[in-house]
Amino acid sequence: MQVQGLRKSYNTLVAVDGIDLDIHRGQVFAILGPNGAGKTTTVEILEGHRTRTSGSVSVLGTDPARATRAWRARIGIVLQTANDAAELTVAETVRHFATYFPAPADPRAVIEQVGLTEKAGARIKQLSGGQRRRLDVALGIVGRPELLFLDEPTTGFDPEARRHFWDLIRTLAADGTTIVLTTHYLDEAEALADEVAVIAGGRIVARGTPATLGGRSTAKATVSWIDHDGPRSVLTDTPTALVNQLSGGGRELPELTVTRPSLEDTYLSLIGGAR
């Protein structure tokens, strides 16, 4: 996927202001940003659901603005919200969606993948919020997409269900599926993404791996420990040298920790500086 100079404006309002992206096959790419930053507009343009004002976009070798039915069969989309036939069962819904694709996955296998086997015969209106979200994911992957768009996919999931979902995403990526993920859960981006882009004010303000985003890997570290005077903390550019100095000839440092800014710290700093 290649995007260059992407812009979207509504009269005088600029929603997306010159975004460049290069996303590779099999990559999990997370797009982060506050509400109103332009990330949803960007993703909708990539999906072919919204026209752009200017710039070039190539997704699976095709301009989404001129997408064909065959191109749409190659992508999967898990929307933030979806409307459906509440009276249908889970199995009926997944089987029905499978008919939209030329070479779908086995609906029963997909239902098992998302953890809904025990609810296969339940009507959609009877599902909990988290179960309903799992069904959304099933509908997004039943066509065996080459490219999968996930918009806040784990909203409503309990911690165990989120971990199972993360395993599913890792499996899909390992099989060559390219995944574009938008999420407000920074631990999710850190756990899943090969690369992260932060959008604020319609522009990309930082891009990199979760470990290096915004200079995270080289930022000052906080070294904390307890000595005879009580808890101590020092902010330093050279944490290893400081620990060696403090430990002397191997002296134990009770409750020693070395921490750099978390992804959340870095993210908040980036979007705060862009406002």
Chain segment 8-18, per-residue pLDDT in tens: 999 899 999 99
Tell me what pLDDT residue 83 has.
62
Asked if residue 200 has pLDDT above 60, the reply is yes
Q: Which residues contact 214 (CB under 8 A, 6 or more apart)?
A: 198, 206, 208, 266, 267, 269, 270
Tell me what pLDDT residue 275 has.
53
Tell me what pLDDT residue 42 has.
94
Overall average pLDDT of the 56-64 stretch = 96
Overall average pLDDT of the 223-238 stretch = 87
End-to-end CA distance of the chain: 28
Region at 36 (left for phi over 0; alpha for psi -120 to 50; beta for the rest)? left
Residue 159 banded pLDDT, cuts 50, 70, 90: confident
Tell me what pLDDT residue 250 has.
75
Instruction: Copy the structure tokens of residue 193.
Output: 């993404």
Higher-scoring residue by pLDDT: 202, 262: 202
Longest CA–CA separation in the chain, Å: 71
How far is the C-alpha of 25 from the C-alpha of 178, rounded, in Å? 5
* Length of the chain counted residue by residue: 275
Tell me what pLDDT residue 142 has.
95
Residue 96 banded pLDDT, cuts 50, 70, 90: very high
How far is the C-alpha of 202 from the C-alpha of 123, rounded, in Å? 40
How far is the C-alpha of 78 from the C-alpha of 133, rounded, in Å? 9
Tell me what pLDDT residue 269 has.
86
Asked if residue 66 has pLDDT above 80, the reply is yes
Chain segment 27-46, per-residue pLDDT in tens: 999 999 998 899 999 999 99
Asked if residue 231 has pLDDT above 70, the reply is yes
How far is the C-alpha of 73 from the C-alpha of 262, rounded, in Å? 38
Asked if residue 20 has pLDDT above 90, the reply is yes
Chain segment 264-275, per-residue pLDDT in tens: 888 888 888 555
Tell me what pLDDT residue 273 has.
59
Tell me what pLDDT residue 81 has.
62
State the chain's mean pLDDT as an integer. Answer: 90
Higher-scoring residue by pLDDT: 200, 252: 200
Asked if residue 82 has pLDDT above 80, the reply is no
Tell me what pLDDT residue 184 has.
87
Asked if residue 156 has pLDDT above 80, the reply is no
Tell me what pLDDT residue 84 has.
64
Asked if residue 249 has pLDDT above 70, the reply is no
